[in-house]
Structure formats: C-alpha cells, structure tokens
Structure 1
Amino acid sequence: MTDVFSCELDQAILNCQQCSRLSDFLQTVKIQYPDYHARPVIAFGDAAPKLLIVGLAPGMHGANRTGRPFTGDFAGILLYQTLHRFGFATRNDSVSADDGLQLVDCRITNAVKCLPPENKPIPQEIRQCNQYLSVEINQFVQNGGIAVLVLGTVAHQAVLMSLQLKAKNYPFGHGAVYAVTSSSGNDLRLYDSYHCSRYNTQTKRLTAEMFSQVFAKIVADIKK
C-alpha cells in the first residue's frame, strides 16, 4: 500500500464523525480544553514496521491532548521506556508530538481513534472504527509486518474482528501468543499484554518485567 493511500487514510480518520456520541463528546472537550487536539488520533511510527501495537483509545490528557498515541500521559511511560529498551524507539519518553521521538520498525495505533467518555467505547463504536483498523492491518501486512501486539482485551478482540477471526478461538491472556492469518493469506503472530494503564501498572497487574517478557518474545520471533 502506498504512502499516498496512507495519507488518504489518515485524512479520513481525522475527518471522521461517524460515531455521534464520540463526535459530540470531542466537541465538548474542545470547548473545555481549546488547546487540545480533541480529534480522532491517527497512527504513529515507521511506515513499514515489523511490529504493530494496538491500544484501546486515546486518553483524555494524553493522545487526545497531543494528537499522538500514548503521548503525554501515564499510559505511555512504561510503553515508551520498553520500546526504547528493545530498540523500537529513539528515546525513552514521549511528551509531545514534536519532541523528536521516532519509532524504528514499530507503529502504534488504537482500536478506537476517538476519546470515548470515561475511556469506555461502546461495541457499536468499536465495530464502526474497525474499518480503519482493518485497513491499517492490511497495510501492515503488505509492507512486511510480522507481529501485532495488543494491549488489553478490547484491542485483542478488535484485531480479531479485523482479521475476521472468532474471539472464542483466541481468548485473551497476558503473554499469550497466537499464529493467525490475515485476510490476504499472510501469516502473523498476535501477542497479548495487559494494557499499560496507570491502574494496571500501579496495582502491579502489569509490571515492567512482565511487559519486557512480552517484548523479548516479539524480538526473538522478528529476528528468526
């Protein structure tokens, strides 16, 4: 898939208002925080990555503020530290969209592109936004992508939906790895991790060691 098509996809996402609940909520947020991005958030990273990371949705004071996935909030701390440790990022923190950070062989997106109220998208919104995730994954595969890391159950199920696979055959579990096939017949490996949210990291549901173990598996498989 060409860079021109990628730009067209990004523009379609930025202009999307197909989910009225999310669109109305973003308008309210923009009034309250006029300096915030407060629009759908597009993917960030390498144009031809080996690893695609799929999160849930933009955070209120993170990606919704800065316009870049996992940038400027607590959820990005562990993620970017780990990406840097394993050579996927040029620095170990992500504070703004113009901080100079670059991803290497990695790209980050979300299952839902808009900030949802209370960080909880409804099933209809996840299905609606899946049209974009499906194109992103197809682009990822066509550009030689190998590994998809999902952060949390919603992202896991959204990726399976985009691949037209049944969730019951691929239950979510931290550390689980599945061999899956894309709609174009390409082989992929799907890696599960708990989301690197403030709640999960502070309660130790997800530790830095647990997260690193997932990335160690990914790196080992990519280098095969």
Structure 2
Amino acid sequence: MREKKSEALTDPQSWAALQAEIVACCRCPRLVAWREGVAQRKVARFREQTYWGRAVPGFGDPQARLWVIGLAPAAHGGNRTGRVFTGDPSGDWLFRALYRAGFANQPISLHREDGLQLRDCYISAVVRCAPPDNRPSAPEAKACLSYLKRELELLAQVRVILALGHFAFRYTLALLPPLRPRPRFGHNCVVPLGEGRYLLTSYHPSRRNTATQRLTEAMLDAVFERALQLLSPSPPSNPLIEF
C-alpha cells in the first residue's frame, strides 16, 4: 500500500497540475501588481528580454531527497526568468555550491532553457511572487504555504529540508508538527525530525550576506557537506545540533 501511495504522489500529472496552479495564482493583489509592474518597467540591462511576471513554481528532481527552500523570487531574477534562484546573484552562489556538492550538472543558472538539471534536489520558495523590497507580508506568506505543503506531500523521498535564511526556516517549521523545545535559527544547524528526516539551516545567499562575508562560499559548501552526510547510508548517529 505504501508503494502505491508513493507512486501516486510522484505522478508527473500531479506535479504538472500543482505547477500550473502556482503559475496562475493571483491570491495576493499587492504581489500581483508588483510582479507585473516590474515585468513592464524592467531594468536597462534586461530591457530586451520578456519577463515572466507571474508566480514562480519550484523545480528539480521529483524523487529528490534534498529539498532547498528560499524566500521568494527576485524581481529581476526569478520574476524575469520564471525559475526560482535563476538569473540573480543569490542563485549564482546557490548553484555553484550545488554543483560542487554534486546536486547540479552545471554551476551557472541563466534562464529556464540553459540546460541546468538538479540531481536528488528540488528547489522552492516560501513565497512564489517577487515582493516589494524582497519583504512579503505574513498574510502573503501564509497564502503561499499550501503550495509548500503540497510539495512536501509530493516529495515522498525527501530526507533533508534545507531552509535558506530565517524567513524560510520560520515557514518551514509551520509545515511540520510542533517541535519542543522550539528550535532557533542558526547557520549550518540540524534539527532531527524523526524517521530519518532532518531540517538543516543556512544563512541565505543574499547579496547583503555575501557582500559582508556573513556567508562565504566555504560556509555554504559546509552546509551541503552536512546535507550529504545526513543523506549517506550511515548518517551521524548524533548530528551536531547548535540551536
């Protein structure tokens, strides 16, 4: 019975239906107005490009054991390219690290047709539309949370959930059964979730964090090294927990 359930949840039609629903989403009027306005105004360096200007679905391997969750598409990144973390500096950092860890076939991410493939990894964002000042409101985040929940149901093989930044950490916790004591956010920390699953955390590879070296490439590589350890056939019996 469990195998039949897994097959149903990973059916390509289920994924296609969810992604189509996300792309068509207009739940939050402020975000809809902003994402479409940015797509019309553009910026000089991308003025010849056609912006996506819609909600951005997740992408990657539907059989993934690693699920990476970010904040939201960037106004001139995912909102332009139609793929989360694609075409912006945060994505540059993320995909280089994924490539070095073996989760991506190439270290660059420019547009949806650039040949990027994720291996054993799926990437989402809490909020699916680019928000003004990169700051979605709590009601906007909650309006998107059902999409994360459905992705969690579809990602039947997931063992490690990597939350990039405090915002993603906060809303990832909202997906899970209550944890006591409630964990606090920290960089490269692990929360065992039971049944061989873990919540892993990292500073977000935002320009503010990388420019100030609050997050370095070595620090981000260490997070993915930790993920690989947790995904190994014999994960650490007592993973380092630093909350």
Structure 1 counterpart of 2:212, one-letter code: T
Aligned partner (choices 82, 99, 102) of residue 87 of structure 1: 102
Alpha-carbon distance in structure 2 between the residues aligned to 1:145 and 1:117: 31
**Larger-gyration structure (1/2):** 2
Q: 1:167 to 1:150 in 2, by over 3 A?
A: farther
Counterpart of 2:165?
152
The C-alpha deviation readout for 1:109-166, integer Å capped at 9, x for no partner, is: 10000000110000001111001011111211x2x11111110011001111112436
Q: Quick check: 1:151–1:195 contact (8 Å CA) kept in 2? A: yes
Q: Quick check: 1:151–1:192 contact (8 Å CA) kept in 2? A: yes
Equivalent residues in 2 for 1:144-183, closer than 5 Å: 144-165=157-178, 169-181=182-194
In the alignment, does 2:20 pair up with 1:11? yes
Moved over 2 A (4+): 164-168
Structure 2: which 5+ residue stretches go unaligned?
1-8, 43-48, 234-243
The C-alpha deviation readout for 1:32-68, integer Å capped at 9, x for no partner, is: 2371101100111111101000000000111111011
In the alignment, does 2:125 pair up with 1:110? yes
Q: Output the aligned Cα RMSD.
A: 1.5
Alpha-carbon distance in structure 1 between the residues aligned to 2:178 and 2:91: 29
Q: Structure 1-normalised TM-score?
A: 0.93
SS of equivalent residue, structure 2 residue 97: helix
Number of matched pairs: 218
| Per-residue deviation, 1:174 | 0.7
In the alignment, does 2:37 pair up with 1:22? no
Counterpart of 1:45?
60
The percentage of aligned residue pairs carrying the same residue is: 37
Counterpart of 1:65?
80
The C-alpha deviation readout for 1:158-184, integer Å capped at 9, x for no partner, is: 111112436970211111100125xxx
